[in-house]
Amino acid sequence: MGPSASWVLRLPTWLDTGTLYFQGVHFDASNSQIFTTPRLNVPIVK
């Protein structure tokens, strides 16, 4: 991983222009806490 990680996501052809939102969630059971990453906005342009 690290700062140069990347993923290729094949999107369906019927998907219209818009925005996809991604966010990571981690639950630390030992401390009963939930941690999240900042939301990543990915605009889709055709």
- Please give the backbone phi and psi of residue 45, each rounded to the nearest 5 degrees, phi first: -125, 130
pLDDT tens per residue across all 46 residues of the chain: 567 878 788 888 898 899 989 899 999 889 889 999 899 998 988 7
Residue 7 lies in a domain: no
Which residues share a beta bridge with 42?
Answer: 20
Torsion of CA 22, 27, 31, 35, to 10 degrees: 0
User: CA-to-CA distance for 15 and 46, rounded, in angstroms?
Assistant: 9
User: CA-to-CA distance for 35 and 22, rounded, in angstroms?
Assistant: 14
Residue 5 lies in a domain: no
Residue 3 lies in a domain: no
* Domain range enclosing 21: 17-46
- Number of folded domains that form the chain: 1
Residue 6 lies in a domain: no
Residue 30 lies in a domain: yes
User: CA-to-CA distance for 39 and 4, rounded, in angstroms?
Assistant: 18
Residue 22 lies in a domain: yes
